[in-house]
Structure 1
């Protein structure tokens, strides 16, 4: 199963970064022309000028022609494992500021290594399909579980509930592409430390696998608790990305 999932993820990342699956079979850094390939993941409606991926130590950059030569000269020789050094990120951010963009965040992502059995706990699981998830729109308790974004719609969720049907935690899955569904998680403060997070993440992961999709889990470097949830839920780290966004200019700055 693990090898099949890796192949599907390579196929997805090849679409995202305008390269081929075979490009991931070596560790030579690569730069491509940025393009919106059919089937690629889309997280913003703004024009993108750069995307950066680290996969198994390999650096892949997709860049607009306006910044491609700069990337070749300044980034292509940096080992992928050192791309998240602050000195490197600062250099990238300073350059893309010239084009009206900035680094949004750095995420690393986890893939499933096994289909874990659920752990019996003192709470029930309640499932929600795509249409049923809409009832939670605007509910700030679930800001990580659900995105409510047309580019990556929420398609599946599971909640841990107590005997009175009160929600203790919610794990949701967004359809980031036809291949890959991303998991987000929220646990209520009063339910922290009870193992709810790993149980519901594992539950939604197993359900996604049953639907022949690839579940994946992302978090930032400083979120140690989230990383522990991923590992406890049967995931392991595989790739990382730098995300960018347009700089928003306030009225005061105009």
Structure 2
């Protein structure tokens, strides 16, 4: 199978973002900010959950804001008020947050996404034995220590993984979920006592190659503040490619915060 190029990988990601929002792929390449009506496509990422009041996405050229009508005026005013790359920053976000609150909405998720640079994915030797794992191997691994690698709410999407073993004990684990038809998302966990040994990057980079070898696009997501995760992405051959910020009804955000606090 012919390996995807970096250009093809980014084109696939942009088409997927368009499917996720209801806009055109070309919108992300414009030099102008674009507001469109939000519409979750049939092939949207499978973890997206409505209601989504607005989603801001930037691939570094502009911002595309897919929004529902009830906040379209605020969103339009916001993206005209600041440079597109400042729309994801405080204190500018406070301007939007204050006005959203008056209508019963809040900023919810914010994340940075990475794609592989196929020309620089390294071959990193792991200090421990590694094994390729499939869905049948995951059954007993839906545990808190592997919650980044696997998702118990979407077990059917977890398709491929690589484990690092100290004797027969799993000490590091990278796995991916088939979040959309052409793109598989990587998550990785390493037990605390085994960190700082290069296990995460060895597993992440190898899993990226395994995914590419199957004709799919691996992608990686982290919060801006998760420096450890961002460093792993870069060390594993990934580069920052796009950012997202999502607005949801305030009661949904409050519910997420309530669950997280338990």
**TM-score by structure 1 length?**
0.90
Paired residues for 1:103-252 under 5 Å = 103-114=107-118, 116-137=121-142, 139-150=143-154, 153-162=157-166, 164-245=167-248, 246-248=252-254
The separation in 2 between residues aligned to 1:44 and 1:161, in whole angstroms, is: 33
1:108-137 per-position Cα deviation (integer Å, ceiling 9, x unaligned): 111000263532233111222124323212
Q: Would the alpha carbon gap of residues 120 and 155 (structure 1) be closer, same or farther in structure 2, given more than 3 Å must change?
A: same
The separation in 2 between residues aligned to 1:92 and 1:212, in whole angstroms, is: 40
Q: Contact (CA 8 Å) 1:133, 1:156: kept in 2 or not?
A: no
Task: Extract unaligned runs of 5+ from structure 2.
Answer: none
Number of positions where the alignment pairs a residue of Structure 1 with one of Structure 2: 248
Partner of 2:73: 69
The separation in 2 between residues aligned to 1:174 and 1:62, in whole angstroms, is: 25
Q: Give the superposition deviation at 1:151.
A: 9.5
Q: Contact (CA 8 Å) 2:184, 2:211: kept in 1 or not?
A: yes
Paired residues for 1:29-68 under 5 Å = 29-68=33-72
Q: Contact (CA 8 Å) 1:161, 1:167: kept in 2 or not?
A: yes
Q: Contact (CA 8 Å) 1:43, 1:152: kept in 2 or not?
A: no
1:170-200 per-position Cα deviation (integer Å, ceiling 9, x unaligned): 1111122112111111111111111001000
Deviates more, 1:6-15 or 1:144-153: 144-153
1:87-119 per-position Cα deviation (integer Å, ceiling 9, x unaligned): 222233333334544223321111000263532
The separation in 2 between residues aligned to 1:133 and 1:244, in whole angstroms, is: 33
Secondary structure class of the residue paired with 1:203: helix
**TM-score by structure 2 length?**
0.87
Q: Would the alpha carbon gap of residues 181 and 7 (structure 1) be closer, same or farther in structure 2, given more than 3 Å must change?
A: same
The two structures, once aligned, show a CA RMSD in angstroms of: 2.0
1:8-63 per-position Cα deviation (integer Å, ceiling 9, x unaligned): 11111111121112223322111110112121124343411111111123101110
Q: Contact (CA 8 Å) 2:27, 2:64: kept in 1 or not?
A: no
Q: Give the superposition deviation at 1:230.
A: 0.6
Q: Give the superposition deviation at 1:247.
A: 3.0
Secondary structure class of the residue paired with 1:221: coil
The separation in 1 between residues aligned to 2:103 and 2:151, in whole angstroms, is: 28
Partner of 1:79: 83
Secondary structure class of the residue paired with 2:168: coil
Secondary structure class of the residue paired with 2:98: helix
Q: Give the superposition deviation at 1:149.
A: 2.8
